[in-house]
């Protein structure tokens, strides 16, 4: 058994998982959570327009990482891996980010490719599912990118058939199209058109028609599920492996698009850092749902396990 730590630094949030990984004689691996934490630092705020990471965003990320470093010391972590995704791939000043992470965390952050991000997300997402429900399509809707991965799971290992990452997510779509609060009908139509155009590249690369089960991971999906279940507060146990039909996805998205900032903020499961960007994320999820409904998949399975779990597995 090894105690490992995975850190995922995305466009909107930075997350930490400390876990004990056990490897059995047959090569199967098991994770036991020791500590999970998420901070919304909005590292990618403005990157789509400016091409650089803002000084304020870098400082928010530094503060979060300093706290994470203290947690790693307290928990006695043996190995650490930090990955950085869409925002840092796009930023001209990403060397400033790397220097900061080295100084604070003591390890080199890795800017992984979109395809590797997708594969790590797949491994984490399918680990609690019945292999007979495959093939699985995992959709990771992040802040700056969305990854689609098609593959199978035999109960021990995942096998990826196709994967594609495209530059659309809750932050990027909100900043590009949804300028009013609540957004105008014209802005929503524009956002849908952008989401459809960008996601078409993923649909062309990943044969989604082969999938039997659609799994959604990351904060946009889990927040939508929490809202659909009308939870008074965010509850991971209630959300993990919950199912959401396409009609409910449409209803929740339509409701969010008519709400003001304060109305969205008052929703019990809504994280404060997600209030401003949930509409963009919901439109990405709805666009995915409409495409998959045309192929006979009318239900989303939410998973609380994602790229963090995949990174932790990879450290064992």
Give the model's pLDDT for residue 190.
97
**Predicted confidence (pLDDT) at residue 129 exceeds the cutoff of 90:** no
Under a CB-based contact definition with an 8 Å cutoff, are residues 47 and 61 in contact?
A: no
Structure tokens at 230: 């009308």
Under a CB-based contact definition with an 8 Å cutoff, are residues 291 and 281 in contact?
A: no
Give SS3 for 232. Answer: coil
Give the model's pLDDT for residue 159.
81
**Predicted confidence (pLDDT) at residue 303 exceeds the cutoff of 70:** yes
Bridge partners of 19, per DSSP, are 4, 33
HSE (side-chain half, CA atoms, 13 Å) at 306: 29
How far apart, in whole angstroms, are the C-alpha atoms of residue 2 and residue 316? 7
Residue-wise pLDDT for 175-232, tens only, equals: 999 999 999 999 999 999 999 999 999 999 999 999 999 999 988 999 999 999 999 9
**Predicted confidence (pLDDT) at residue 73 exceeds the cutoff of 90:** yes
Residue-wise pLDDT for 233-246, tens only, equals: 999 899 999 999 99
Classify domain 2-114 by CATH architecture.
2-Layer Sandwich (3.30)
Under a CB-based contact definition with an 8 Å cutoff, are residues 226 and 238 in contact?
A: yes
Q: Strands across the sheet with 213-217, in order?
A: 158-166, 146-153, 136-141, 213-217, 299-303, 243-245
Domain range annotation of the chain: 2-114, 129-307
Give the model's pLDDT for residue 229.
94
Give SS3 for 137. Answer: strand
**What residues contact 301, with CB distance under 8 A and at least 6 apart?**
129, 213, 214, 215, 216, 241, 242, 243
**What residues contact 249, with CB distance under 8 A and at least 6 apart?**
224, 228, 285, 286, 289, 300
User: Angle 194-197-198 (CA atoms, 0-180°, nearest 5)?
Assistant: 85
Under a CB-based contact definition with an 8 Å cutoff, are residues 218 and 122 in contact?
A: no
| Portion of the chain with pLDDT greater than 70, in percent | 96
How far apart, in whole angstroms, are the C-alpha atoms of residue 214 and residue 241? 11
102 compared with 118, residue with greater pLDDT: 102
Q: What is the mean pLDDT of residues 279-289?
A: 97
Q: What is the largest CA-CA distance in the chain?
A: 58
Residue 42, CA distances (Å) to 120, 266, 295 in order: 22, 21, 35
Mean pLDDT over all residues of the chain? 90
Give the model's pLDDT for residue 26.
63
Binning pLDDT at 50, 70 and 90, where does residue 142 land? confident
Residue-wise pLDDT for 14-53, tens only, equals: 999 999 988 766 656 678 889 999 898 988 888 878 889 9
Q: Which residue has the tokens 């946009």?
A: 220
**Predicted confidence (pLDDT) at residue 157 exceeds the cutoff of 90:** no
Binning pLDDT at 50, 70 and 90, where does residue 307 land? confident
Under a CB-based contact definition with an 8 Å cutoff, are residues 3 and 315 in contact?
A: no
Q: What are phi and psi of 290, to 5 degrees?
A: -65, -40
Structure tokens at 104: 């604070």
Bridge partners of 83, per DSSP, are 8, 110
Classify domain 129-307 by CATH architecture.
2-Layer Sandwich (3.30)
Give the model's pLDDT for residue 156.
67
- DSSP label of 184: P
């Amino acid at each position: 058994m090894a105690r490992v730590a995975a850190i995922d630094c995305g466009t909107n949030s930075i997350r930490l998982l400390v876990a004990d990984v056990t490897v059995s004689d047959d090569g199967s691996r098991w994770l036991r959570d020791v500590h999970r934490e998420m901070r919304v630092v909005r590292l990618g705020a403005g990157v789509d327009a400016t091409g650089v990471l803002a000084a304020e965003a870098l400082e928010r990320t530094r503060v979060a990482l300093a706290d994470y470093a203290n947690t790693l010391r307290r928990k006695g972590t043996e190995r650490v891996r930090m990955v950085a995704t869409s925002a840092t791939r796009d930023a001209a000043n990403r060397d400033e980010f790397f220097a900061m992470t080295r100084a604070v965390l003591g390890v080199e952050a890795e800017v992984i490719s979109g395809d590797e991000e997708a594969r790590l997300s797949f491994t984490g997402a399918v680990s609690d599912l019945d292999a007979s429900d495959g093939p699985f399509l995992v959709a990771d809707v992040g802040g700056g990118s969305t990854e689609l991965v098609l593959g199978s799971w035999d109960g021990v290992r995942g096998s990826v058939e196709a994967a594609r990452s495209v530059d659309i997510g809750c932050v990027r779509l909100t900043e590009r199209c949804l300028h009013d609060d609540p957004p105008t009908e014209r802005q929503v139509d524009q956002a849908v058109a952008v989401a459809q155009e960008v996601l078409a590249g993923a649909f062309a690369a990943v044969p989604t028609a082969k999938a039997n089960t659609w799994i959604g991971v990351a904060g946009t999906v889990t927040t939508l599920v929490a809202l659909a279940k009308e939870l008074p507060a965010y509850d991971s146990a209630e959300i993990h492996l919950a199912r959401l039909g396409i009609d409910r996805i449409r209803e929740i998205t339509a409701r969010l698009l008519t709400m003001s900032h304060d109305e969205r903020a008052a929703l019990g499961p809504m994280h404060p850092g997600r209030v401003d960007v949930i509409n963009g994320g919901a439109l990405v999820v709805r666009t995915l749902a409409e495409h998959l409904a045309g192929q006979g998949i009318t239900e989303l399975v939410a998973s609380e396990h994602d790229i963090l779990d995949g990174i932790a597995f990879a450290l064992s």
